[in-house]
């Protein structure tokens, strides 16, 4: 997801990994983007390196979240640095995410603009619950849990979707997806296939 900002972030499970190298972002239409990702089973140096590269790529692209499939890797993991409704940023890494959303009278939809770094340059309203929680594991294999409202809720849902092979365009009407595609196509020259690595 593309970026908002500010202030010192909350890091309930530790800071994001550093020292990574930005990679080109994988686009919608690439097979890895449209299938459920392989569960993380080995919490090793390769996983830590991938996470660090994902963080570097997310920041280079001015994003608030990035899933492993978005750098072409078939791994159920995402990283994020995203503000909630109060503007408080939370950062984290989640492997094998499991999403919990409100139900019944507690479920309220927020239809706000949403975008995707794998379909850059375009945004369209997408209705999602206004609160979400994700449980999973961190890079050390220990349990992690993140929850929040506002853009953070949207981000947690958007990135978990990626690990399941769903892009947010799949959640739009045909008319809205056409509008999204027109905006994307109009901005395409600003986002070469090497972006944001180049």
Choose the catalytic residue: 8, 124, 159, 189. Answer: 159
- Residue 183: predicted pLDDT: 97
Q: What is the predicted pLDDT for the residue at 131?
A: 97
Tokens 């056409």 locate to 178
Residues annotated in the binding site, as ranges?
116, 158, 162
Q: Do 168 and 157 touch, CB atoms closer than 8 A?
A: no
Task: Give the side-chain half-sphere CA count within 13 A for 134.
Answer: 31
Task: With CA atoms as reference, report the closest residue to 155 among 96, 105, 110.
Answer: 110
Torsion sign, CA atoms 178, 179, 180, 186:
positive
Query: Which residue in 149, 47, 136, 135 sits closest to 90, CA to CA?
Result: 149
pLDDT for res 8: 82
Map out the domains of the chain with their CATH numbers. 31-190 (3.90.45.10)
Binding-site residues for Fe cation, in ranges, read: 116, 158, 162
Please say whether the dihedral angle defined by the alpha carbons of residues 183, 185, 188 and 194, taken in this order, is positive or negative.
positive
Task: Give pLDDT, residue 30.
Answer: 98
Please confirm, yes or no, whether 86 is among the known catalytic residues: no
Query: Which residue, among 80, 75, 65, 59, has the nearest Cα to 13 in the 3D structure?
Result: 80
What are the C-alpha distances in Å from 58 to residues 23, 83, 197? 9, 15, 10
Of how many residues is the chain composed?
Answer: 198
Residues of the chain with pLDDT under 70: 1-7
Cα–Cα distance, 160 to 72 (Å, whole number):
16
Both tokens of 8, joined, read 């010192």
The predicted-structure confidence for 142-178, as pLDDT tens digits, reads as follows 999 999 999 999 999 999 999 999 999 999 999 999 9
- Give me the pLDDT at residue 119, please: 98
The span from the CA of 2 to the CA of 91, in Å, is: 15
């Amino acid at each position: 997801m593309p970026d908002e900002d500010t202030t010192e972030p909350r890091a309930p499970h530790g800071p994001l990994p550093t020292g990574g190298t930005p990679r080109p972002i994988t686009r919608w239409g690439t097979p890895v983007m449209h299938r459920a990702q392989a569960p993380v089973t080995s919490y090793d140096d390769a996983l830590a390196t991938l996470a660090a590269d994902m963080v570097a790529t997310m920041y280079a692209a001015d994003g608030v979240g990035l899933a492993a499939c978005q750098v072409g890797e078939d791994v159920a993991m995402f990283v994020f640095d995203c503000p909630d409704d109060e503007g408080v940023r939370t950062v984290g890494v989640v492997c094998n995410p499991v999403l919990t959303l409100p139900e019944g009278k507690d479920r309220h939809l927020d239809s706000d603009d949403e975008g995707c770094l794998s379909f850059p340059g375009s945004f369209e309203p997408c209705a999602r619950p206004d609160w979400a929680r994700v449980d999973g594991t961190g890079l050390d294999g220990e349990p992690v849990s993140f929850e929040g409202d506002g853009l953070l809720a949207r981000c947690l849902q958007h990135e978990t979707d990626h690990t399941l092979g769903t892009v947010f365009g799949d959640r739009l009407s045909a008319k809205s997806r056409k509008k999204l595609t027109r905006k994307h196509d109009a901005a395409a020259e600003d986002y070469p296939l090497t972006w944001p690595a180049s």
